[in-house]
């Protein structure tokens, strides 16, 4: 496998890691539509899951002191169970159905985000369990659970650094569940893609460092609108191609 044709994918992974560090989620949501341009869908989901795993390891390391452990546990336990369920299904469902699921998920989430920018869910134990289950299942099935997790996690009114650290801790347990499941079920696609993993480790590390540096130096509202607009275009492209 030649690495050069995948340079654009590796650069995009660095940018996605930086943006996800700022926003608290989004590396998979941003990167999977790009990865699909370079490789088959199942291989894209697997490699992005590996990248997501390294990205969250580095984020947990960077924000470890800020993690709200109680909230992380409430989200994390149902996330593990449902991410395994979703990861098992990826090897069964047709690739086109998964692709459509990604597009529909993005459009629903983005539409609601535009219409209800101040929407908040009650910060209860039930909220955490439901949010963990939903984000874990979507992460396992289509590689995109961070946005749903973010919606539920925002209900707890966590400070920015605590939010980022806690979200990364929850995402990490999901990744530790779904990546081995992808391998066991044979959903990894072409195994030559393994050669890209060292490059994804490097891009994840420097992406997190860059994102953390600028975490407190950006207008969150403006940034949020830019990301939502970009994701809207990606969702429409996926749905109609």
Q: Residue 2: pLDDT band by 50, 70, 90 thresholds?
A: low
Kindly compute the dihedral angle of the four CA atoms of residues 123, 126, 132, 133, in this order, to the nearest 10 degrees. -150
How many other β-carbons are positioned within 10 Å of the β-carbon of residue 129? 16
| Cβ proximity of 211 and 161 under 8 Å | no
Q: Is the pLDDT of residue 1 over 70?
A: no
The total domain count for the chain is 1
Residue 210: how many other CB atoms lie within 10 Å: 17
Flag the least confident range among 107-121, 138-152, 156-170.
107-121
> Residue 177: in which H helix or E strand, if any?
helix 160-185
Q: If you average pLDDT over residues 118-139, what whole number do you get?
A: 85
Distance CA 197, CA 213 (A): 24
Kindly report, residue by residue over 73-98, the tens digit of the pLDDT.
999 999 999 999 988 887 787 767 77
Question: Tens of pLDDT along 3-28?
Answer: 677 899 999 999 999 988 887 777 88
Give the integer Cα–Cα distance in Å for 213 and 227.
Answer: 19
Residues 204-215, mean pLDDT to the nearest whole number:
91
CA–CA gap between residue 232 and residue 229 (Å, rounded): 5
Residues 175-184 have pLDDT tens digits of 999 999 988 8
Q: Enter the tokens of residue 232.
A: 């809207």
pLDDT of residue 13: 94
Residue with the two structure tokens 């069964």: 92
3-state secondary structure string across 95-123: HHHHHHHHHHHHHHHHHHHHHCCCCCCCC
Instruction: Tell me: pLDDT of 120 over 70.
Output: no
Percent of the chain predicted with pLDDT > 90: 36
> Is the pLDDT assigned to residue 223 strictly greater than 70?
no
pLDDT tens digits for range 30-77: 888 889 888 888 888 889 999 999 999 999 999 999 999 999 999 999
| Least confident among 165-169, 170-174, 230-234 | 230-234
| Chain center to CA of 3 | 24
**Domain assignment of residue 57, given as a range:** 4-239
DSSP one-letter code for 36:
T
| 230 or 141, which is more confident | 141
Question: What is the average per-residue pLDDT within 128-144?
Answer: 88
29 vs 12: CA distance, rounded Å: 12
């Amino acid at each position: 496998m030649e690495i050069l044709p995948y340079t654009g994918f590796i650069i995009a992974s660095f940018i996605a890691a930086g943006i996800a560090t700022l926003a608290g989620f989004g590396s998979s949501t941003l990167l999977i539509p790009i990865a699909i341009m370079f490789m088959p869908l199942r291989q894209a989901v697997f490699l992005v899951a590996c990248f997501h795993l390294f990205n969250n390891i580095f984020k947990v390391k960077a924000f470890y002191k800020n993690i709200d452990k109680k909230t992380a546990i409430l989200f994390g336990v149902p996330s593990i169970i449902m991410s395994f369920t979703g990861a098992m299904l990826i090897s069964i469902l047709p690739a086109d159905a998964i692709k459509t699921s990604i597009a529909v998920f993005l459009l629903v989430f983005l539409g609601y985000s535009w219409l209800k920018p101040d929407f908040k869910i009650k910060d209860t134990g039930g909220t955490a369990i439901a949010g963990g289950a939903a984000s874990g299942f979507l992460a396992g099935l289509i590689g995109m659970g961070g946005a749903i997790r973010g919606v539920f996690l925002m209900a707890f009114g966590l400070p920015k650094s605590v939010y980022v650290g806690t979200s990364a801790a929850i995402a990490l347990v999901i990744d530790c569940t779904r990546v081995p499941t992808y391998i066991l079920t044979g959903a990894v696609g072409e195994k030559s893609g393994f050669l890209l993993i060292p490059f994804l480790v490097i891009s994840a590390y420097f992406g997190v460092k860059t994102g953390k540096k600028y975490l407190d130096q950006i207008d969150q509202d403006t940034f949020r609108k830019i990301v939502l607009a970009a994701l809207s275009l990606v969702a429409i492209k996926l749905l109609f191609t």
